[in-house]
Amino acid sequence: MRYHPIPASVYKQNRTHFAAQLESNSLAIFNSNDIYPISADSTLPFAQHRDIFYLSGIDQEESIVILFPDAYEAKHREILFLRETNDHIAVWEGAKLTKKQATELSGIETVYSLSEFERLFQELSTQCNRFYFNTNEHYRQSVETQTREDRFIAWCKKNYPAHLVGKSNPILQKLRSVKAPEEIEQIQQACDITEKGFRRVLSFIQPGVWEYEIEAEYAHEFIRNRSKGFAYTPIIASGNNANVLHYTDNNQQCFPGDLVLMDVAAEYGNYSSDLTRTVPVSGKFTPRQKQVYEAVLRVKKEATKMLLPGTIWKEYHIEVGKIMTSELLQLGLLDKADVQNESDEKPAYKKFFMHGTSHHMGLDTHDYGLLHLPMEANMVFTVEPGIYIPEEGFGLRLEDDVVIQSQGVPLNLMSSIPIEIEEIETLMNA
């Protein structure tokens, strides 16, 4: 692996916290992701399922974790199954984890070969009343492909129809939303790598460059700093492209006087960072661009102050909407009539700021978190207001990642990444 792994004790603690939430005589199963085919013999790069990684630190395909706190034998209360390896696999793909290496990474003492799974699962099934399955219940999920987990659940229900069923995801949604110090360190490392990429492109951007060339500069800096690359598909949107919220073509040229919105960040050790900066292609903001930029920055700063323990996500967004409405009035983008005619379902500010301000972040860029529960210390959120004005040919978004503190304002993990107009212009014209 490229990254430095976090201590196995963190994964052990994660499993302990998860197991404590299970009904008695219950067994939970977690499968790694598939390697997805493209065509012929081509595949996408392997990306580990974040839940099995959270519980074990194992970053290898064809792995299974079983947690069974009430197993008759103590050695069967935590079990890891690994793909068998041989000399042929070692030559063609590289050596896979040994049982000793897997134990050192995960803290799981009992490690079996995958070929022993069905036999042992049959034995353990006679000791439990309930299986906990790990389905995807994230509020943004939109899965059209049958996963390895899906196939296992179908197989298990067919072969063990008498067992009760529980859901692992609600437990993990709550546990994963609050980060351990070691997890925050990994996210900070991803943010630091992202900073290196951003500073690199500030000296690269000028009229005539192409969006994909900017993307390439980020990729170079990320990979040379031990990241696997982008935490998500990068958005490099110049001019009016920035008004397409999920623009990822990155195939247009950057012209004088335009802004370029860059929503792009690195991962590190499977943990995400999430950055957006908007900079002037020519190295200087126009007066109108400055006016809008400063408005977005003020909203961002005020929104950040509201991310405190006890805050409810939905109520927070309502308050941010009020601040944005005030700024849009000052910019002349809204008038009093717009505000008087708005409704709760369709607030006036949504014409120019149509997405949310904050989301959980961690192992997934849009990470786990139960949005109806109050915010807690050590949750990590983005703060990303924007104003989009197709009629004026630009859109503008600013985004940082922050950690909620038990007291005081959140800790900004991206505080060293330039965001003030004067610093950005100085760096671009150095």
Give the domain CATH number at 229. 3.90.230.10
Q: Where are the beta strands (DSSP E) in 233-384?
A: 235-238, 259-263, 267-268, 271-272, 276-280, 380-383
Reported as a pLDDT band with limits 50, 70 and 90, residue 85 is confident
Domain range spanning residue 74?
8-177
| Residue 1 resides in a domain | no
pLDDT tens-digit profile of 292-320? 999 999 999 999 999 999 999 999 999 99
- 195 and 89 assigned to the same domain: no
Reported as a pLDDT band with limits 50, 70 and 90, residue 87 is confident
Q: Which of 139, 158, 177 is the last residue of a domain?
A: 177
Is the pLDDT confidence value at 92 over 90?
Answer: no
Is the pLDDT confidence value at 326 over 90?
Answer: yes
Interatomic CA distance for residues 148 and 351, integer angstroms:
41
| Residue 2 resides in a domain | no
Q: Which of 177, 195, 221 is the last residue of a domain?
A: 177
Q: Which of 177, 205, 235 is the last residue of a domain?
A: 177
| Residue 108 resides in a domain | yes
- 218 and 172 assigned to the same domain: no
Give the domain CATH number at 134. 3.40.350.10
Q: Residue 284: what pLDDT?
A: 98
| Residue 236 resides in a domain | yes
Mean pLDDT of the chain: 97
Interatomic CA distance for residues 163 and 149, integer angstroms:
18
Amino acid at 63: S
| Residue 20 resides in a domain | yes
**DSSP character for 371?**
T
- 171 and 260 assigned to the same domain: no
Domain count, the chain: 2
Q: Residue 1: what pLDDT?
A: 87
| Residue 256 resides in a domain | yes
Report the chain's terminal Cα–Cα distance, integer Å.
Answer: 37
Q: Residue 141: what pLDDT?
A: 87
